[in-house]
Structure 1
Amino acid sequence: MDTAQYKDRLRHYFDGVGFARWSAIYGEAELSLVRRSIRTGHTLMLNQALAWLAQLPPPPDQPKALDAGCGTGLFSLDLARRGYQVTAADLAPQMAHATAAAAAHAGLREQIHCQVADLETLSGRYDLVACFDVLIHYPPEPFVTMLSHLASLSKSILFFTYAPYSPFLAAFHRVGGYFPQSQRRTTINMIRDELVQQTLADCGMTLRFSRHIGVGFYHTNLVAALRQ
């Protein structure tokens, strides 16, 4: 399957049944045990990113941020509350619209600009670029292309997650494929750490923080990198 087919499949999923599933996970609805573990892991990941942000060089006046693959806007809202002007973009229109609605409800409409966009079409320069739980859906070659593009948009800080390779996690994801369709995980592509580190170096960025977040069925590596 080529990159365009991956994107079409993801757009269809996250703008359809996936929107209902993931907006519930990102929200406060009652969930199954599997989805509760994903919510817990995702919340832990976002909180860790914010804790790291407090330890990184302070942003300039009127900082700009890009939340690529914004989902329902949880991280966009956190950045806006910290003074960032945020561009929140998602491949799925329903996700971008949900972020816009959340921004309006929180009184942050003027600080968060939402758009429907393919990750690779995003442009501009930002003090901070974040991309959470998006790159996990792509195999190595498009992963490198997309990570490199995100790095090119960052003047200073780059946050992202990827699914680390390990035999245990490979078996874990295979087990997930046997769950009922309503509980089944989306396709996850595992990436070796060495490829991530080499891509960052090729893009002129230095790994600053890295942590594996593992809770139930949520397993990801969170990375913070800085422009050299």
Structure 2
Amino acid sequence: MDYIFALAADPTAWVALATLVVMEVVLGIDNLIFISILTNKLPADQQATARRIGIGLALVLRLGLLGTIAIIVQLTEPLFTAFGHGFSWRDLILVAGGLFLVWKATKEIHHNVDPDPGPDLFEGKKVQMSFASAIVQILLLDLVFSIDSIITAVGMTDHVPIMVIAVVAAVTVMLLAADLLARFIQANPTVVMLALGFLLMIGMVLIAEGFGAHVPKGYIYAAMAFSALIEALNMLSQRARKTR
């Protein structure tokens, strides 16, 4: 308890906490977009449950990984060298997660532009996956994003309580925003394509980082924010034309 009180009285600890919470929330956006797009393909009565399970798994994975920080740190140690780069477990996980994200986003884009969605219908809407399949895919990406999130946290502070509070705060924000984001994406088809484009970009960034090419996150999120702003202006323009 003395350790906790000492942290609470330390101004630098509060600065580290605020910075880490913001970083964790930003990193959680990628995870949340994937969860929203994936769960929107389920029957309506299963979507909210799947989102809560997916976000709950993200919290469990992050807290579980925090309990194995010594092992997580070792994931950055090179295992072998190829193409002039020493690959670690973290690199391999990022490359695998990036490839999965690129494959999944490409597949979803194909489904969205395919003029013949096929005969499988559920109350007039196509159901393209089962509840269990959605949870498994969410779990796989949760693992990738969780490892990246914890390694980022370890690089910013040495205090585990600060990491725990930041992770819980970020996942709470994800939980509160999940249904709103999912409804917004579902109600705006053009936003779905934009979000899938984001996932493609994030997947390529994960692959690049796995191969040792560091891409500043600020550039990525600035590009995403600019694209979202253009799409918002386009939606406002369409509404104005309909009103007139």
TM over 0.5: no
- Which is higher, the Rg of structure 1 or of structure 2? 2
Structure with a larger share of its residues in helix? 2
Q: In which range does the TM-score fall when normalised by the shorter chain?
A: under 0.3
- Tell me which of the two structures has the higher relative contact order, counting C-alpha pairs closer than 8 angstroms and 6 or more residues apart: 2
